[in-house]
Amino acid sequence: MKYIKSFIEKNNENLKLFLRINSTIFPIIIIIYLLLLIINQFWDKIFQEYLNINAIFILLLISGTLFLIPITKEEKKVSQIRKLERKDIFIFLIMGLICSVLVWIKIKDFGTLSYVISCIAGLITLFLSIFIFYDQ
């Protein structure tokens, strides 16, 4: 354990720079991954021969984990509680609708059950978004 502490103390500035670069790269990787995933879903695995999407997913997981390190170390800033506005409700509804449509596209072969499952998935997305907004 003391070796790790000495390594961190010696390379503190380099680690901070690496985490700053990672915080810039992570949103780019997540957008690229989601776009490739959606394109791959609609055009019948077009990237299967050329690109392994799972490798990008592993990179995304590692980058996301490193993205959270500085966030968890920061102290929580006390601020005023924001009220739920119209644009927030609109964004949450759009997210729920997109989730419902994507789930329905994936399981539309199940018949009537696919509508029920996709509605439940959309409602879960909607409620989780509201709960996260209020930090509960």
Number of H helices, E strands in the chain: 5, 0
What's the pTM? 0.55
pLDDT in tens, 77-125: 545 667 778 888 898 899 889 888 888 888 888 888 989 999 999 999 8
Angstrom distance (rounded) from CA 71 to CA 21: 14
More reliable by pLDDT, 8 or 84: 84
Strand locations in the chain, DSSP E?
none
